[in-house]
Amino acid sequence: MKDKVNIPATLARLTEFWSQGTVAQANGQLFKVAKGIGSTRWHQHDDQDELFIIYSGQLTIQLRDRDVELGAGDIFVVPRGVEHCPKADIETQFLIVGLNITSNAAGGKPEASRMAEGQT
């Protein structure tokens, strides 16, 4: 059995925006924390849904036909095969749940995602 995981402490250790840190695995699903500011690239996952749970901040999931605005405590599922582009105007922390495979190695991660010195 694995030890407990503290989500805020794990988020604090992340050194890049839009990078993900796996905190748990259960029933074939990975539970990953991430934080973002700015936006990713448009992308899609043809083999899996992608579930977002917002921990803090505000995240906009841009879809081709609409934007979905999410705040702390909100949850949203991007269905498999749907092109999307998450963006955050302020630093946002969230949990992503998906299959324990990565269908798109880079996801929509932007080229320059390192955090500014001293930024958490």
pLDDT per residue of the chain (120 residues) written in tens, 0 to 9? 578 999 999 999 999 999 899 999 999 999 999 999 999 999 999 989 999 999 999 999 999 999 999 999 999 999 999 999 999 999 999 999 988 765 555 456 565 544 443 433
CATH: 2.130.10.10, 3.40.50.300, 1.10.460.10, 2.60.120.10. Which one for 7-99? 2.60.120.10
- The rounded distance, in Å, linking the Cα atoms of 118 and 64 is 35
Residue ranges per structural domain of the chain: 7-99
The pTM score is 0.82
State CA 85 to chain mean position distance. Answer: 11
Half-sphere exposure of 14 (CA within 13 A, CB side): 26
- The rounded distance, in Å, linking the Cα atoms of 30 and 52 is 12
Contact 53, 97 (CB under 8 A): yes
